Structure 1
Amino acid sequence: MNAPVPSSEPQVMQTYGRLPIALSHGKGCWVWDTNGRRYLDGLGGIAVNTLGHAHPKLVPALQEQIARLIHTSNYYLVPLQQQLAAKLCEISGLANVFFCNSGLEANEAALKIARKFGHDRGNSSPEVMVFEGAFHGRSIATLSATANPKIHAGFGPLVPGFVRVPLNDIAAVEAALKAHPNITAIFLETIQGEGGVNPARIEFLQALRRVCDQHDLLLMLDEVQCGIGRTGKWFAHQWAGIQPDVMPLAKGLGSGVPIGAVVCGPRAAHVMQPGNHGTTFGGNPLAMRAGVETLTIMVEEGLLANAAQVGAELKAALQQGLAGEIASGGVVEVRGQGLMLGIELDRPAGALLAQAAEAGLMISVTADRVIRLVPALILSSDEAAQIAAILVPLVKAFLAQPKP
């Protein structure tokens, strides 16, 4: 198993370069394929399976909900929406929530809020500041906000109205605001995921909050991948002691059940009014129950503290195991926080996806040369040590080969 092969599913649209592995079931941080082989899941469904697989508290709750009510519509009250919204507002300190189905939809709604916010203030051509390395989704608008020419290719013309600047450069932000007076919002991932696990620095986030307050702009923090406890706090921006005006969420909020949310503070809470936005599936009872149960179980099992502690252990084990490669430059950096970690190599690392699977470990490779680890927040210290024990030798062997 050296590289992804074409799908053996001829009736499935070929949008993914899949590995030839079909998974049958999972338990905790482990999954099994249809041939009975076991893998340690360091990918967590791409930061989705917060509680791992087949969690003994989540499964019966979802079974009960499926037997009761899966979907109604937003023509009627959905009491579980208020339950989940209240929990999200409590842990974020923000004001209200719009529910949707995915991170893309949450980001799309955030961009609509930014434009409406501008129009409400008399700006007929509002613009949004975005950042190099960003990834916000694959719809035409979120694709346009994303900084990846590879996924732009073939889909132009892109949506106008975005001003792109370097991450962690407040001088560039201030210069862009002077040059583009129509900017109404600043939109960024607190930690870039697809862009290579690149954190926005604490002092940069704090400076952005001050700039937005000074200029009456919306600070919109995409926490789709880094939120819901992944860094050891509920939301990654909380390490900077700030609050956003708009916060898209998804991925880990439903522990595998599709869900998205846009949480808004007072400045943005009432921008959208009836008729401005909507969704058919968003906020349905099954997704809301998954969100309520996920947050409840996270508190009961102390998963924020676990993410911080076990994530620090895993990061330290990787740094120690790869110390020689870090010194030589083969490993550029091991970075991230909690259970969102990236190992940047000095060369494209896509081949490691299949090599890791062959060794019994599931990972991803993003931004061409960054190994991404986003396992379930229930990961134990022993399992973290196993990830390092599998991955470190693979990286060493990979880097020992001639550089392409």
Structure 2
Amino acid sequence: MTNRRDLLKLSALAAAAATLPTLAWAAQSGAVGRAAKPLNILILGGTGFTGPFQVDYALARGHKVTLFNRGKRPSPEWSGEVEQLHGDRNTGDLKALEGRKWDVCIDNPTSLPFWVRDAGAVLKDNVGHYLFISTISVYADGSKPGIGEDAPLGQYKGKDAMAETQENLRADIENLYGPLKALSEAEARKQFGERVTIVRPGYIVGPRDETDRFTYWPHRVAQGGEMLVPGDGSDPVQIIDGRDLGEWMVRLAEAGTYGVFNAVGPEKTLTMDAMLQGCQAATGGKPTYTHVAPEFLEEQKVEELPIWVSAKSGPYAGYGQVSNARAIAAGLTYRPLGTTVTDLMAWFRSQPPERQATLRAGITHEKEAELLKLWRARRA
């Protein structure tokens, strides 16, 4: 059963995203209009999950794009020219950024405050607008529906936040991820003042998602047969297509929009049953759904069901009900669920057979069958 630990792993899991040879799924359907004013955009990262969508959309809008990263991943085949700069923020090697100016900086991979501090030392006088991808895991209390951007944030309880490393974060992600992201937000404001946009996504899904957290559901629906569904089907689910997130961030840069925004979707409430029905319509699968009580799953210590969070119990019930009103007012739009599912499954089925053979999230068929058998016996 999904809990906050899963949400806290968003950044670490997304960092494992592999690159595609092309970006066939990058831009919105149809032609992308040119921006009124071309920008010179620096993207920190840019070759992970959402970064390539930002790059390709920015190019389509007529912007100039520079990437800064370690150069460890091969870059996709962009639709235009992209400047590549290399360095290592872990070691403070930002020399490639010195003496350069950009209109906008989009910071994708940062989970450690000293990364923001060091970037600010080089860029604060050379960048007009700084956009930072944070997370809804910054909130101190995830139990209340309708969490807004002004809700209290989690507090760091360690000795020295600036001394935290990726190794420390991985070792204690449940206690460190949210508070360190919150401190990274604060450091962004310290370095860049009011010229900051903080974007807090939840579950990012769609093509290029190497975590398989959302992929598990359309993949399982497509297989058919009796399918275990957690809860009674009414629990709300919040997801955002990585393309919607990436493209919206470029539009925020174009508009010069500052502030803090929860980047969750869809626009209207999506229940667990509605999500599965959307997956069924998109994949053509014909499963039969068996709803299983959250209490039974807790009793059986089932923790592998991704995306879903029970809205009726537990300290993280509100995580499927975060308010996105401010983001929608600032222009965040959403692809239809069917488009996300169709494109995701097309991408997934284009992966090597060994990649498709074992999903990285969800329960196995054997465990599902065992749980369904126990559930039927309990109900008899």
Q: TM-score normalised by the shorter chain: which range applies?
A: under 0.3
What is the TM-score normalised by the length of structure 1? 0.26
What is the TM-score normalised by the length of structure 2? 0.27
